[in-house]
Amino acid sequence: MNLPPVGLGTMGIDEPDPIATALDLGYRHVDTARIYGNEAVVGEGLAESDVDREAVTVATKLWIDALAADDVGPTARESAELLGVDGIDLLYVHRPRGAYDPETTLPATDRLVDAGVAGAVGVSNFEIDDLERASEVLDASIAAHQTELHPLFYRPELLEHAREHGYPVVAYSPLAGGKVGEIDEVVEIADRHDATPETVAIAWATAKDPVVAIPKASSERHLRANLAAADLALAPDEIAAIDAIDREEELYPE
């Protein structure tokens, strides 16, 4: 799946204006989830914008309580209705937990693609073994893998698997929950480029093939700054300096 370098994460956004503003500024990938409770809000934002629906990749995720084979279809159709779309461009399995069974859940998602309810199926928060099994079971290849990735938490093996199998890694929480402004290495590089630490963190993530990022932002200022990260090219030594940070802080562990 071809995704832009920077998209919009919407966890915690509870009004449609930031969605519409993001689209008007040039965002073309909007990500939400059942568990966020804001699919209807995202749908309102999509409807408010003059951007053509076909130009935007709309993604949502099925939570672990809706992964039984009989629940996948009805839940995804309800998500599409809440989003106000005929089809969900990218439908994720949010976590391989709860009712998830690759032998039954994934064929149910494939049926949604066949029915036009979903354009493609992705996975989220999967381990290598989970990714391997999903690759074997799904009719088509994995469309994307969404995982936590930021300067304080980085798993190169997931990127390597994505490169080998030809799908993008979608980095959520690329700003480390707001902590990137406290990381000396990131701040120093930001000062060098007359940029914000947030912009540098996103640029670092998206410099890694095949990563795209979905930072969350509500204000126009932050939306613009995050989008600008696509134009910031970090030097190899700057990327290496952030890679070498000796801290691991996973924000959303199992």
Percent of the chain with pLDDT over 90: 97
Q: Is 36 a catalytic residue?
A: yes
pLDDT at residue 59 greater than cutoff 90: yes
Query: Which two structure tokens, joined as six digits, stand for 12?
Result: 């915690």
pLDDT at residue 43 greater than cutoff 90: yes
Given phi > 0 = left and psi -120 to 50 = alpha, else beta, which region is 175? alpha
89 neighbors 59 (Cβ within 8 angstroms)? yes
pLDDT at residue 247 greater than cutoff 90: no
pLDDT at residue 160 greater than cutoff 80: yes
Query: Which two structure tokens, joined as six digits, stand for 119?
Result: 């354009």
213 neighbors 6 (Cβ within 8 angstroms)? yes
235 neighbors 203 (Cβ within 8 angstroms)? no
Dihedral angle, C-alpha 126, 129, 132, 137, nearest 10 °: -80
Cα 188 to Cα 183, 199, 225, 235, distances in angstroms? 9, 13, 17, 13
Is the pTM higher than 0.95? yes
**Cα(57)–Cα(202) distance, rounded to whole angstroms?**
19
Q: Please compute the mean of the pLDDT values over residues 198-205 and round it to a whole number.
A: 98
List pLDDT tens digits, range 105-130.
Answer: 999 999 999 999 999 999 999 999 99
Q: Please compute the mean of the pLDDT values over residues 160-185 and round it to a whole number.
A: 97
Q: Which residue among 36, 100, 154, 167 is the active-site one?
A: 36
| Topology of the domain covering 8-178+210-218 | TIM Barrel (3.20.20)
**Residue whose token pair is 């699919």:** 39
